[in-house]
Amino acid sequence: MNLLVVSGPPSSGKTSVILRTAAAFKNRGLKTGVVKFDCLYTDDDLLYEKEGIPVKKGLSGALCPDHFFASNIEEVVAWGKKQELAILITESAGLCNRCSPYLDGVKGICVIDNLSGINTPKKIGPMLKTADIVVITKGDIVSQAEREVFTARVTAVNPGAVVMHVNGLSGQGAYELSTLLYDEEQDIDTLEGRKLRFPMPSALCSYCLGETRIGEKFQLGNVKKVDWQESNRDM
Amino acid sequence: MSQSIRAKKMGELMEKYPFLEDFFLQNRLFTQNAQDFTLEQYLNSLSEEEIEEKALDIRKIPEEMEDYIRQVEEFLGIREEQSVSSLTILPGYTKDKVPESFEKLRLVPSQITSIVGPTGSGKSRLLADIEWTAQADTPTGRTILINDKKPDLKWRFSSNNRLVAQLSQNMNFIMDLGVREFLEMHAQSRMAAQPEETIRRIMDAANELAGEKFSENTPVTGLSGGQSRALMIADTAILSASPIVLIDEIENAGIDREKALKLLVSEDKIVLIATHDPFLALMADQRIVIQNGGINRILPTNSEEKVLLEKLSDMDRTIQKLRSDLRSGKALQGTDISL
């Protein structure tokens, strides 16, 4: 079984890209399944079901979906094996753009959209930087100039990645993407012992643990303050 | 090479590859005071805290820098080569696997080809085949040749060398910038050799196309539909590196469409235009008729159609004149139309 880890900011078009790509896999006779990770709510599973794609969803609730992903991925793979999938795709959107759920030895795909603004590549960190393939969407609604600037900035952040443009509405580019994803040689049985490509942020403070009161004396753990002395260039 | 780049002084690197500035900027690395450090020393000077805060993986940075340098140099090299002198489409199949009947279709710069056919007939697929430089490995089975040869894979995978630039009706500017700043940013990312000159040419060309003039300080999001389209076309013609331009209709509002197509052609672009507007379709040298996923026919624009185009062109000018009269507050008269 092939495993593909798809990540990207909310509403960047991950589901549309996966649906279009899965259609191309289906034409090749490859059985594809999807596990969708989200935070509070998703009904994307219905979209997959409608296309006859086996789907499972996991809501992380109070946790970050990417952390939740890391603690559940073993079971996800077991589910995919049981479904006898040729390709298992996981889809998740982190909360803060800081995490990346990619694993060593497993293709990682980052989906970002032109509409999110040209400073996005700089903002989203390891999720973009450590991806193997970057898929840029919504190119049909911004100008050619903005598309080119956006792509150039993605390349500056992740020069080693293959950058693909996919139109989630017409499907243009999805077939081409699908040819880069399936690897006949790869057969993932278990992920035991594999590693995340980049550590998740160490954000453990009292507010992570449910504190609601504001004030210095309620702030415990990994607490960081804005630097008010120097220029705020780094912020 | 990784070993040697690590030992290079930051100042030397920046001097040799000025575009690295953008690499450092996009990766949130501040290098102002590091001129005399080697790359290795600079990376080692970052504190553990900074590395964690900025989510960096410093072991990988030298390698990424090399990738980036290679990509940019390839891009600059291609620009100098002026590399596309023809694009050839070899036939594949329709959706029902019936072979396409044309022998081959060769497109050259400064040539306009229109594409007609119902929605869903396969226009997007044709374009995708071109963009991917298909080698009988897409659902249509078509093959694309560049300069009469099997294309280099760089057209598929190099992110800065896209074969096709696209302009469609749904496109908008989304950036919060004035026209000048906008063009400066685009020129910088394209590494234009003479940005000032290029920007001036785009401004002049765009104002030439737009029914209503605009200034450098106008925010791009505040441009009218016609002005936006004019700026997008001028910018794509003059600044985009893509040798092929695909246009999806140009609505007949506030823009001189004839001049727009002529501008693209004068910049040596191969122009494809998907349209059902008779004026635009006949402006083309030939048109491709798409049906059921396949290229059904290729029709050169015949002499009768050229005569018709003259009349359509008169009508177009008449309507533009009426529009501009309305804009300037004039009353219109029955004699304004003489057809």
What token pair was written down for B228? Answer: 């936006």
SS3 A73: helix
CB atoms within 10 A of CB B88: 17
Question: Quick check: ipTM above 0.85?
Answer: no
8 Å CB contact of B28 and A122: yes
8 Å CB contact of B189 and A198: no
pLDDT for the residue A235: 45
User: Considering the domain A2-181 in this protein, what is its CATH number?
Assistant: 3.40.50.300
CB–CB contact B132 A140 (8 Å):
no
* A169 CB within 8 Å of a chain B CB: no
**Closest by alpha carbon to B102, among B300, B302, B296?**
B296
C-beta atoms of B174 and A142 within 8 A: yes
Instruction: Examine the pLDDT at B80 and tell me if it is beyond 60.
Output: no
With H, G, I as helix, E, B as strand and everything else as coil, classify residue A205: strand
- Which band of pLDDT confidence, cut at 50, 70 and 90, is reported for residue B337? confident
Residue-level pLDDT at B213: 93
Give the pLDDT of residue A232: 54
Contact A156 B190 (CB under 8 A): no
Looking only at the bridges linking them, the beta strands covering B112-116 and B286-291 are parallel
Which residues contact residue B101 at a Cβ distance below 8 angstroms, ignoring those fewer than 6 apart?
B91, B296, B297
Reply yes or no on whether the pLDDT at B172 is more than 70.
yes
Residues B127-158 pLDDT 10s = 889 988 999 988 899 999 999 999 887 788 77
pLDDT at B297: 94
User: In this structure, is the dihedral angle defined by the CA atoms of residues A201, A207, A209 and A210, taken in order, positive or negative?
Assistant: negative
Minimal CA separation from A117 to chain B, in Å: 7
CA gap A11, A16 in Å, rounded: 10
Query: Do the Cβ atoms of A142 and B22 come within 8 Å?
Result: no
List, in sequence order, the alpha helices (H) in B174-302.
179-189, 195-209, 225-239, 257-266, 278-283
Q: What share of chain A is helix, strand, coil (3-state, %, to 5)?
A: 30, 20, 50
pLDDT tens, B208-224? Answer: 999 889 999 999 999 99
Nearest residue in chain B measured CA to CA from A138: B171
Higher per-residue confidence, B200 vs B124? B200
Q: Which amino acid is at A195?
A: K
Burial environment of residue B234 by CB neighbours within 10 A (0 to 12, 13 to 18, 19 or more): buried
Of chain B, the percentage scoring pLDDT greater than 70 comes to 96
The residues near B214 (Cβ < 8 Å, ≥ 6 apart) are B179, B206, B207, B223, B227, B231
Interfacial A residues in 139-158 facing B (CB < 8 Å): 139-146, 148-149, 151-158
Q: What is the DSSP string of B201-235?
A: HHHHHHHHHBSS---TTSBGGGS-HHHHHHHHHHH
pLDDT at res. B3: 64
Residue A88 to residue A66: CA distance in whole angstroms: 17
Q: Which of A161, A159, A176, A167 is nearest to A136 (CA)?
A: A167
- Chain B residue with CA closest to A163: the answer is B159
Mean pLDDT computed over every residue of chain B: 89
Shortest alpha-carbon distance between residue A111 and chain B (Å): 15
- pLDDT for B339 equals 58
Over residues B226-285, the pLDDT tens digits come to 999 999 999 999 998 889 999 888 877 778 888 999 999 998 899 999 988 899 999 999
Is A115 in the B-facing interface, judged by CB distances under 8 Å? yes
Contacts of B67 in chain A (CB under 8 A): 159-160
State the pTM of this model. 0.84
- A193 CB contacts (<8 Å, ≥6 apart)? none
Q: Can you give the residue ranges of every domain in chain A? A: 2-181
- Residues of chain A under the 50 pLDDT cut: 234-235
Structural tokens at position A148: 């080119």
A104 touches chain B (CB under 8 A): no
How many residue pairs bridge chain A and chain B with CB atoms within 8 Å of each other?
A: 131
Beta carbons of A17 and A166 less than 8 angstroms apart: yes
Contact assignment for A140 to B172 by CB distance below 8 Å: no
pLDDT of residue B1 exceeding 60:
no
Tell me how far apart the alpha carbons of residues B34 and B9 are, in angstroms, rounded to a whole number. 9
Residue-range domains of chain B with CATH:
2-81 (no CATH), 87-301 (3.40.50.300)
Q: A148 and B189: CB-CB below 8 Å?
A: yes
Q: Which of residues 19-48 of A touch B (CB under 8 A)?
A: 27
**Smallest Cα distance from B239 to chain A, Å:** 8
Q: pLDDT tier at B28 (50, 70, 90 boundaries)?
A: confident
Q: Taking a C-beta distance cutoff of 8 angstroms, is the pair B133, B151 a contact?
A: yes
Cβ–Cβ of B57/A198 closer than 8 Å? Answer: yes
Q: What are phi and psi of A182, to 5 degrees?
A: -85, 130
